Structures are given as structure tokens and as C-alpha cells.
Amino acid sequence: MSADPKEVASARMAEFMRLLPLTEVIAGIPHCEHGKSFTEGQLEVRCTQLKNAFKMAKQVLREISQS
């Protein structure tokens, strides 16, 4: 009995959105100044930081739930 791929994607997106505040704090990346844009390289670095921080946020919640 496999889950519908759309349901799995929706659940993963909901998980990401629930953890976004914690993820942002863990990543510690600053906001862009008003009227300025990030370069493509800066965006890639920020995305990588967010991905890594999201993994850490999930790990923290797993550890807390097992305590």
C-alpha cells in the first residue's frame, strides 16, 4: 500500500513550512537589504544553508520526541 506521490509531496511541504521558523534560526542567514538583490552565487549558498538547517531541525525534533 503506497502513498499517492501528490500526498507525500504535500506532507513534505507542510513539514517544511512548520519547521521553517526553526530552520531560519538554525541557518542564521541575514535578510536582504531593501532594494538590493542577492547574486546567483549568494542564493545558492543560502539555499544550501537552508537545506542543511532543515535537516538539523528535523533531527532536533526527532531527538526531542525520543526523550
Instruction: Give the mean pLDDT of 39-61.
Output: 96
CA pair distance 9, 18, nearest whole angstrom: 14
Is the pLDDT at 1 greater than 60, yes or no?
no
Closest CA relative to residue 24, chosen from 60, 49, 61, 58: 49
More confident call, 37 vs 67: 37
| Residue spans per domain, the chain | 5-66
pLDDT at position 31: 85
Cα dihedral 18, 3, 48, 20, rounded to 10, equals 0
Give the pTM: 0.81
